[in-house]
Structure 1
Amino acid sequence: MHTHDTAAQGSNLLTDNPELYEARFPDTERLAGRWAEDCLRRYAAGPRVLDLGCGTGRDAAYLHAAGRSVVGADLSDAMLTYARSHHPGPRYTRVDLRGFQFPRRSFDAVVCLDSALLYCHTNAELDGLLASCRRALAPGGLLVAEMRNGAFFLGRTELLDAPAVSGFSRQGVTYESTTTLSVDRAAQLLRRTRVWTADDGSPPVEQRSAWRLLFPQELRYVLAAHGFDVLDLHDGPGPRTEPPWKEGAMPGPTADADRLHLVARLTRHT
């Protein structure tokens, strides 16, 4: 899994130090990659895959090992360098997901996991991503995405009421984060302030980032405008749900919990 605060927010402890990212989010069972591959198989996607927002490359490498021809794309040079050395197989390249260019019809599927799509904060940025996907996909190509669900925050405040504290250790150093979330309703953003401390004497680090809050019907509308037909849009099970997705699990009928899972097919090129 992968975060991309670097895209708009400058330095980020985990993005700038991919080994710490993988220590914090180990995903030893490769749930995200397995879930994506299951979606690709279920809808008979071709072999050429773009992993957009690939982060450390774990999911791209899993898809590569499953027999696909994979390009991993990210904006973080640190993540890409790490991916090339630790998760070889895919071709890794630096792109901005809010607008990118590959040769037309280069891919049979675009995979966009762990809320990477939500770093498109404005309608123009979201249009840029989807227009780029449309150009890069072959006719009938798939878009597979996993992200936070804006609908979860309609009337629910449990993620906003108090800071969340978590931690992990690596090479004898213990890191602790205190995370505060707030909703910017006018901008339709979920804003995050995170303060990291470590017991190695280094000073605290404060980081700020945000995700676009997209609602299921809004997502259907913008995808249709870009020529996509939504095949699946549901809140679980998925790689970050509780309980998590398992092989053979089928999508549920609802779309109101805190994660949203999307499979859409490109039916119209423009």
Structure 2
Amino acid sequence: MRNAEFNDPRLVQVYDAQCPWSNDDDLFLSLANEVPGSRVLDLGCGTGRLTVALAGAGHTVTGVDPARASLTAAQVKPSAEKVSWIEGTAADAPASAFDLALMTSHVAQFMVDDAEWDATLVDLRRSLVPGGRLIFDSRDPRARGWEKWNPVDSRARVTLPGGTDVDLWTEVTELKGENVTFVHHYIFSDTSEELLSRATLRFRTEETLRSSLEASGFEVEHIFGGWHREPAGQGDGEFIVVARAK
């Protein structure tokens, strides 16, 4: 199944176990907290790890995601009642309603087609008040992070809350231009069943990100290269983009 890690309830549980709070969450929360009490749109909020933390920090938060299984997991987390949840995309967000829009966990890279990416940026610009910020992450293609997506380097084991161990790894199946297609493998210890999740990510260059943002009505303020605000090209092989609606 394509993007099954977000749509299959069993794999959503694995995703939560595999992805605890980390340095990226610290950075996004600190950037949001630069403006206390902001109205925040968390697009592609997934299972809500950062979303509920933003609400707990005093922001008014709306989490939007097209994956029902991920939203279901998010809505039972502590403090989830403080968040407004929307099953949908950026097109479903209200207009001129937010001071900050976030896309974390490389959500931007799942928008492979130029038309989808450009439409999302336009919708986000519409959802922000003038001067509102858009902050998101996208892997720097110069770091060639996908080279570690193989059965040796990516192999890991997570334990689910009920005690079941899950062995998992990733393998790249196609490289085409800026697109990387891959498969996540999951084997559950209690049944030996193997589940698969297929996806394609777009590794846009810094120049492409800047030009698409400019064309959609944003001005880029910063592009960091790591989770401690290093310059682009340094740090963690990331682009953390901070842009402002014109």
Report TM bin, short chain: 0.7 to 0.9
Question: Could you tell me which of 185, 206, 213 is aligned with 1:223?
Answer: 213
CA drift at 1:266: 0.7
CA drift at 1:16: 2.5
Equivalent AA in structure 2 for residue 254 of structure 1:
A
Partner of 1:194: 184
Equivalent AA in structure 1 for residue 18 of structure 2:
R
Partner of 2:245: 266
Q: Which runs of 5+ in 2 are unaligned?
A: none
TM-score by length of 1: 0.80
CA drift at 1:203: 2.0
Structure-to-structure mapping, 1:5-154, within 5 angstroms: 9=2, 11-12=4-5, 16-17=9-10, 18-27=12-21, 31-42=23-34, 44=35, 47-87=38-78, 88=80, 89-97=82-90, 100-153=91-144
Equivalent AA in structure 2 for residue 264 of structure 1:
A
TM-score by length of 2: 0.88
For the 8 Å contact 1:45–1:108, the answer to whether it is kept is: no
Equivalent AA in structure 2 for residue 192 of structure 1:
F
Partner of 1:175: 166
- Residues of 1 paired with 2:150 and 2:70: CA distance? 32
Equivalent AA in structure 1 for residue 132 of structure 2:
G
For the 8 Å contact 2:66–2:87, the answer to whether it is kept is: yes
CA drift at 1:124: 0.2
For the 8 Å contact 1:196–1:205, the answer to whether it is kept is: yes
CA drift at 1:150: 2.1
Question: Could you tell me which of 249, 254, 257 is aligned with 2:232?
Answer: 254
Distance change (3 Å), C-alpha of 1:142 and 1:112: same
- Residues of 1 paired with 2:147 and 2:19: CA distance? 22
- Residues of 1 paired with 2:132 and 2:189: CA distance? 48
- Residues of 1 paired with 2:8 and 2:59: CA distance? 26
- Residues of 2 paired with 1:127 and 1:107: CA distance? 19
For the 8 Å contact 2:36–2:58, the answer to whether it is kept is: no
Equivalent AA in structure 2 for residue 95 of structure 1:
G
- Residues of 1 paired with 2:70 and 2:6: CA distance? 12
